[in-house]
Amino acid sequence: MSSSEPSSEPSVAEPSGEPVDGPPSAADQQAAVDTIQRFSDAWIAGDCEGYFATTTEAFREEIILIPDCETFDADTRAFVGLYDDYRMTIGDVEVVGSAVAVSATESYTSRYDENGNETDVVTTYEDGYEYFVVRVNGDWVIDDFFAE
């Protein structure tokens, strides 16, 4: 690919490692929550550009292991095919250093068990996550997360 051709992957500036001036404000905390909601919407819609815009490269490549649109598309298609009635509820929002930690509960129903085997009953699942959102070039993006 020549440098004049458009990249097949959206690009997002990566953290420089420089600290943020002061703790995140209330507006920054709301922006972090909005980032989590946009990330969730991108996942459900299969919107790779939205996925790239709400995550750092380190998150995509080292944490969630979905580094490109091809992998993202396959994973989101599988997700949408297995689960119904998806809802995300935002919980606590806390400042942790220069990051904002946002807890979220994701609930959904499925005819598949935890191992991906189809069952005869619809089961409701609920998963908790804590996302760490950092400011990169003025935008808030997900840099890490863990299951609660």
Structural domains of the chain, ranges and CATH numbers in brackets? 26-147 (3.10.450.50)
d(CA 114, CA 76): 17
Q: How many CB atoms lie within 10 A of CB 137?
A: 10
Give 46's DSSP letter.
Answer: T
pLDDT tens track of the chain, all 148 residues? 223 333 344 444 444 444 455 677 888 889 999 999 999 999 888 999 999 999 999 999 999 999 999 999 988 887 776 778 888 999 999 988 888 999 999 998 888 887 778 889 988 889 899 999 999 988 999 999 888 7
